[in-house]
Amino acid sequence: MSFIAGVLRLALADVSSLSSRPSPANKPTQGWAKHWRRLGGSIPVKPQGKTSKPPVQQKKQLEKETGVKILEAGVSDKDSLKQIPVVKENRLESGQFLVLTVISVALIMGALAASGSLLCLRHRSQLQLKEKLASLGTDTSADATATYQELCRQRMAVQTSERPERPERPEPLRRHSRLNSSSSQFSDGGPVASPSARSSTSSWCEEPVPSNMDISTGHMILSYMEDHLKNKNRLEKEWEAMCGYLAEPGACDIGHGEHNTKKNRSDAVVVYDHSRITLKPENNYGTSDYINASPIMDHDPRNPMYISSQGPLPSTLADFWQMVWESGCVVIVMLTPLSENGVKQCQQYWPDEGSNVYHVYEVNLVSEHIWSEDFLVRSFYLKNLQNTETRTVTQFHFLSWVDRSIPDSARTLLDFRRKVNKCYRGRSCPIIVHCSDGAGRSGTYILIDMVLNRMAKGAKEIDIAATLEHLRDQRPGMVQTKEQFEFALTAVAEEVNAILKALPQ
């Protein structure tokens, strides 16, 4: 019995150790089982439910600690379990990631700082240039005009260096764009070098346009002009008679009206009621039809050759562009700097670059070229925002003509006039001519151009005094000083002399 009891204890201990393994059967080894059966005993084995209890308890503990829902747990043979692939993640160490982040941020900040510095330097240079241009108005020295022209050259040089090279094929005009090309209407067919690089007037002057004037008429007119210029008493008496001339009718009630007075730059030059440009009120931002501008006719009252206008005020910029659009104008002649001796002569009515919108008219500066020391040419792309129609407008800006004075030489203005007429040739719309008040310098230019055009068409008789009266019938104050009247005679005489030299003898 003691032997049986010892064997039983040994068997129970072995079974107990087997039950603690993660095996689903937990059977005793075959050697012990056979030995026990020979003794006539039976082997007590733990039920299957009791062996799965520890994993279930571990399941609940794992769910509590990890927060992961475990769907099933149990005991099985490890050889029958499928291997679960383990995915390893390659992660940069936190120190390396921090270094890369700092380097990236530093590079970005450096690029932003460099861009900001370049923009600030460019903006500062533009401000300095504008301050210099503005300060010219208070410069009373004789070199003020030359300084203005030099600054224009510097500004154009900066803008040219900033513009891309001209493409081989023209591209459509884009908003806020600047084209670095000479206008095609100034060339005779071949490539023309930019006149902005030229320094002398003789390098860009042109020969007079072929005229129908015969030699005998030309010599007669030239003799008449020279006699007027030599006989100062005759010239003085003729000017005094012109000063006493009163146009009939000469009412200016509309221009002196309550709502229109503020639109006049000068009370001395106000449009006649019977001879004024009328705007379409439905297209005007103030529903007004008034602008201080006069149509100037020669022979045909239905088709004015010119529109003599004052320089726009800050409050009349949109009115000016409405007049340009409704009159069909494509050429503007500007005969004044923006300011003289600190006095504003004309409000700038175009953008320095890109585009500006004046009521329903978008004006885009396409190009700006300095053609000589005395004038420059700008090209505008004008768009009506109401109907999306577009038009190209060319402005000729004469720089060296001061208010109530005359240019340094007649030849300079005559060369300027040839450029204007070459651009205008073949058109039927009026030319807008303006200075400050639209009478003194504008009247002198129109007088010279009208007389020379009559001669070019073969007129047999020319009376400059009578032509001036004709102009004053349409706008008051045309040609304001005796010096301007004498200058007109000189300019006509010089052009006639040049035409006679060009005619076949």
Rounded CA separation 320/457 (Å): 32
Catalytic residue among 252, 329, 346, 435: 435
**Where do we find the tokens 């891309």?**
164
Q: How far is CA 310 from CA 184, 307, 322, 325, in A?
A: 29, 10, 14, 17
Rounded CA separation 377/433 (Å): 14
Rounded CA separation 344/380 (Å): 23
DSSP code string of 257-292: STTTGGG-S-TTS---SSS--B--GGGSTTS--B-S
- Compute the radius of gyration of the chain from its Cα atoms: 48
On whether the CB atoms of residues 341 and 137 are closer than 8 A, the answer is yes
* CA-based nearest residue to 477, from 319, 234, 242, 248: 242
432 φ/ψ angles, rounded to the nearest 5 degrees:
-85, 120
Burial of 452 (0-12, 13-18, 19+ CB in 10 A): buried
How is residue 182 written in tokens?
């000479």
- DSSP code of residue 73: -
Rounded CA separation 213/325 (Å): 35
- Let me know if 243 is a catalytic residue: no
Rounded CA separation 240/24 (Å): 135
How is residue 386 written in tokens?
């109401």
The angle formed by the CA atoms of residues 333, 337 and 342, to the nearest 5 degrees, is 155
On whether the CB atoms of residues 221 and 455 are closer than 8 A, the answer is yes
Positions annotated as catalytic residues are 435
